[in-house]
Structure 1
Amino acid sequence: FLEEILHLEGKGSLRNAPCSGCGDLSPNYRCEDCFGVNLQCSSCIKTAHQLHPLHRLQKWNGMFFERITLKALGLRIQLGHAPGQVCPKPRRAFNDDFVVMDSHAIHEVSLDFCGCSNAVAHVQQLLRISWFPSTTANPKTAATFCLLEEFHILSFESKVSACEFYNALMQRTNNTGLAPVKVSKHVDQHARNKANAITKSRYECFI
């Protein structure tokens, strides 16, 4: 078991393998969340993740695999349109700096809201892809519905607090503590509000 686990830390048998997408001879990227451990070039792995913008990627730096974001590879998430469609009037998130909290990590993403004449509010655009914004004005952070459901269940089954859950998510994102995880200042308030709501619902069920 240990040998196979260590095998995954490097390129292993794929050190001379071409890109699984285009056949490029120097693929250096892989996804932690996709099935399998195929290596791809930057272009192919970005294209393959148009519908999976919250997957975690790694890049081979010559000695080991290091984390890299889809944002760094140039992937932009477009709201208000079907996947693959181009918005004629995209509006970038405030300062082009958006953070999404998912059940396996906290992600920095490049996000474009729809700016068409019939576009709904930014908050609605986020909710329509199952992302819960941390604020209603110029949202810069959101949590996926999946994450909120996970916290909701764990809070009942294991009594985990919002702070403990958030800290665990921070550790899953970066367990070394060497790179600070960027989140909005509204997240802590959102977590407290969520915790208060859960406490209130528990009390109402009790009485």
Structure 2
Amino acid sequence: QDRPLHFFYPLEDEFVDESLRREGRGARHVYARCAGTLCDARRECPNRRCDGAAEWRCVDQGCYGEIMHCTRCVVAAHAQHSTHFIEASRRNWLQKLGLRVQLGHPPGEICEYSVDFCGCKTADGREHEEHWRQLMRACWWPATVSAPNTCATFQVLRLFQILNCLGKLSAYDFLRGLEKCTNNDGENKPPDRRKPFMVIVREWREVKRVKRRKQGYHKGGVKEIAKGALAEKCRACPQVGWNMLEGWEKANPFYRFFYFLFLAQDANFRLSNHSVFSEAVDPIIGDGLGYFCQREGDEGYKAHIAKHVNEQEISNCSGFQAMFMANSKRINGLRSTGVFGVTCSRHNMWLPNGLGDLQVGERFCNGDFVLLAALMIFNVLWLVVSYDIACQYVIHFWEWMGRMPAAMQLKLAPSDVWWKVPNFHLPPHKKPCHSPYSFHWMWGAGMTHGEGVEQNWAFSNGAAGSTRLMGPGSRHATLEDVFGFHNYDRVLAMRAFLPLRLDSRV
């Protein structure tokens, strides 16, 4: 059927009738007798059919359709679906009907213990497995390690992570949505679980990014993971030992543009953060392991910024917001006025350690540290950097780079680094800037425009509203997840656009 809706319209009333029918008890043969065959987990009912009264039905009718069960049968049938809701005249919890989940054993196998946690001795002689570990093995993530009372299923955490990264859905709206799906009549609201849920999400994100970047088996554990190792790297940018031919250092000068590393950097003032909570209350986990540069330490981002508290940068070349924000006074109550970021401008992927918070507008000291921190993982001969105020930024760059730690300094000559202004941002500059900073006049630049970083900001700006009032740790984890999701999505997109680009050039 090429136009299925044309066949639907004549039957719309019948579709409505069927939908309404599912809200009731259905046909008489459905509710006249319990459809179950087991009254409990141990005993079969006589004649393989229960004689109990059909009272209960699973709310998610995809579980058993419209069939109904007695109390004992509906509990037994949900031994492996303990998070489902059931309904009679109103919705109810399976736990209120007597369902108990026995951890540490398959459904139906009971150990002699007074509570639901398994008390059997472990193979290594311990009294029993920790309660949080038993919950994890049941695919329930505990909110606390000691005496856990609240959990979230792995399934709901995966769903929230995708919706949060893709649609920027906040935890508050997500939980409200779950409440509405559970009971939308406004009565018998479930308890507010937002605080424990946020803790669970923080832990889930941290563990998942360690696992996905193949660092779960690191010999030294999480504490020994290298800086930037938890970030998804661009697989198309030139990287030694990965995608570069042997002898690339001796490439013919005419073909050296094959090995140009194109980067773009810019600041985003929408991702600001109010000074709520402190790092003691909401600490940052995994400092410097992902997309944000390392903050702590003698050679960290905070120590570097502390040396440039009174730095003044004034320019009248560009009319863009960056120049006006450099001396912004509207910073009262803000922990961060935005985020400075570095991407590869050919494939629009964030670089490991290529992000850092801004303190007082967009200052060159922020850009220096973030750019050099991101370049530490590369070994390149030629570099092209685009920046909307590159004409001013490059004036003292080499001088200021000499003050940075030796490990962060570029091993390139100034003649091997080109500074450009993105195509859209170039016209407002003064005319003397147009030719030397234009991609159009650069040999080897191809169709590069340098505006990819703006496209990346557009994807992450949806998270600005929810992260603005977060504590430092929660905001850091959320943005790391959003940027990581973006990079992974770009890697998947390479399957489609890289072959097309190759075909169009051959």
* Displacement after TM superposition at 1:188 (Å): 5.1
Residue 67 of structure 2 corresponds to which residue in structure 1?
A: 38
- State the SS of the aligned residue for 1:72: helix
Gap regions ≥5 residues in structure 2? 1-14, 37-48, 123-127, 206-473, 488-506
Q: Is 2:121 the counterpart of 1:117?
A: yes
* Amino acid of the structure 2 residue aligned with 1:146: Q
Q: Aligned equivalents of 1:152 and 1:16: distance in 2? A: 40
* Amino acid of the structure 2 residue aligned with 1:49: H
Gap regions ≥5 residues in structure 1? 60-64, 92-111
Relative to structure 2, which stretch is displaced further, 6-15 or 181-190? 181-190
- State the SS of the aligned residue for 1:113: coil
Q: Aligned equivalents of 1:4 and 1:206: distance in 2? A: 42
Indicate conservation of the 8 Å contact 1:80/1:125, yes or no.
yes
* Displacement after TM superposition at 1:177 (Å): 2.2
Relative to structure 2, which stretch is displaced further, 168-177 or 73-82? 168-177
Q: Is 2:2 the counterpart of 1:2?
A: no
TM, length-normalised to structure 2 = 0.33
1:47 to 55, 76, 85: 76
1:12 to 26, 29, 34: 26
**13 and 201 in structure 1: CA distance in 2 versus 1, 3 angstrom threshold:** closer
* Amino acid of the structure 2 residue aligned with 1:87: C
- Cα deviation code 1:129-181 (max 9, x no counterpart): 11111111211110111111111111121111122212211222222222121
Q: Aligned equivalents of 2:179 and 2:485: distance in 1? A: 31
**38 and 202 in structure 1: CA distance in 2 versus 1, 3 angstrom threshold:** closer
- Cα deviation code 1:54-85 (max 9, x no counterpart): 122111xxxxx311221121111000112211
Larger helix percent = 2
Q: Aligned equivalents of 2:162 and 2:55: distance in 1? A: 38
Residue 103 of structure 2 corresponds to which residue in structure 1?
A: 79
Q: Aligned equivalents of 1:192 and 1:146: distance in 2? A: 12
**122 and 7 in structure 1: CA distance in 2 versus 1, 3 angstrom threshold:** same
- State the SS of the aligned residue for 2:144: coil
Residue 85 of structure 2 corresponds to which residue in structure 1?
A: 56
- Cα deviation code 1:99-150 (max 9, x no counterpart): xxxxxxxxxxxxx111223221001001111111111121111011111111
The two structures, once aligned, show a CA RMSD in angstroms of 2.5
Q: Aligned equivalents of 1:156 and 1:189: distance in 2? A: 15
Relative to structure 2, which stretch is displaced further, 38-47 or 181-190? 181-190
Indicate conservation of the 8 Å contact 1:27/1:41, yes or no.
yes
What is the number of equivalent residue pairs in this alignment?
A: 182
Indicate conservation of the 8 Å contact 1:57/1:70, yes or no.
yes
Q: Aligned equivalents of 1:69 and 1:184: distance in 2? A: 17
- State the SS of the aligned residue for 1:40: coil
Structure of larger gyration radius: 2
- State the SS of the aligned residue for 1:8: helix
Question: Pairwise mapping of residues 22-171 of structure 1 onto structure 2 (< 5 A)?
Answer: 22-24=49-51, 26-33=53-60, 34-59=63-88, 65-91=89-115, 112-118=116-122, 119-171=128-180
Indicate conservation of the 8 Å contact 1:132/1:142, yes or no.
yes
- Cα deviation code 1:172-202 (max 9, x no counterpart): 2222222121255742542674653232333
- State the SS of the aligned residue for 1:18: coil
- State the SS of the aligned residue for 1:143: strand
Percent sequence identity is 36
* Amino acid of the structure 1 residue aligned with 2:53: S
